[in-house]
Amino acid sequence: MGDNILFSLNSSGEIVMSNASASALLKAQNAFSGAAERLGVSDEEDVQYLVDSIRYEYWRNYTSEGGRAVSLQGCE
């Protein structure tokens, strides 16, 4: 299978051809820009603490709901 190609129209009316995966990655990077600072994450230790906290919260909610997965509040 080959790469997916994305055709889009830029602000000057030109049709631009690009790699769809690369475009999606750039869009995600822009969306997450500044998120670490807003969450107070500055190093690997902070990232690990955040992951552990989310896992703990998920597991606590999962077991308290009789084994049904439930959404995490504040993680929209």
Chunked in runs of 10, what are the mean pLDDT values of the chain (76 residues)? Answer: 83 92 91 90 92 88 65 53
Give CA 75 to chain center in angstroms.
Answer: 11
pLDDT for the residue numbered 40: 87
Q: Where are the domains of the chain?
A: 1-33, 41-71
Q: pTM above 0.75?
A: no
pLDDT for the residue numbered 3: 75
The full 3-state SS of the chain, as one line of letters, equals CCCCEEEEECCCCCEEEEEHHHHHHHHHHHHHCCHHHHHCCCCHHHHHHHHHHHHHHHHHHHHHCCCCCCCCCCCC
